[in-house]
Amino acid sequence: GQTVSGSVSDKAGNTTNATSAPIKIDRTAPSTDVSAPTGRVNSSVEVTLTPHDALSGVDGTYYSVAVPAEQSGTQVALTTEGTHTIAYRSTDKAGNSEAAQTVTVEIDKSDPTISHTLTPAANPNGWNNTDVTVTFTCDDQATLSGIASCTAPQPVTTEGADQAVIGTATDRAGNTASNRASVSLDKTKPTITG
């Protein structure tokens, strides 16, 4: 809404004034805020892009996800596992374009795996006659988030049949899996009479 005024005078002293039509000048590119989770998540994600322009106004917002073709919009739905990098920018009605920004979202929906071993192993009858250590082995696919925690080795020293020892694996996205070990321990010698 800026205007310019001018005047002209002739040699006889006559003067005429004029004011230009409103002039609109916008040399500032818009900006775009992004709402996306930080760190790894274990569910589908919808990323929201919020553009701002205080002068001419936003003309459009554009994004791309792992492909060169841009799409127009402010909502980006991510449903598949993996690392997703979103490039985004906005333009205004004066033709200014924001430099491309990026945000990365990591999705891991798969549970980790967990297994166990007994040391020493049980005899053919499924029993041990000395203390047993249950060791859990946890893993997560290489392309996913990786293991955050795995139950430490658990000693079993109390006699009894089918004693349950539970291990839990948790990945960095918060997915969990559990594994049950069963230990039968008899450290008492039998008796014999004759």
Running along the chain, 194 residues long, what does each successive block of 10 average in pLDDT? 89 92 91 93 95 95 87 95 94 95 94 96 96 96 84 97 97 94 96 94
pLDDT of residue 111: 93
Phi, psi of 69 (to 5 degrees): -70, 130
CB 180 within 8 A of CB 165: yes
Six token digits for residue 43: 């569910």
pLDDT of residue 142: 65
CB 51 within 8 A of CB 62: no
Q: Quote the CA–CA distance of 117 and 126 in Å, as a whole number.
A: 13
pLDDT of residue 24: 86
The reported pTM is 0.74
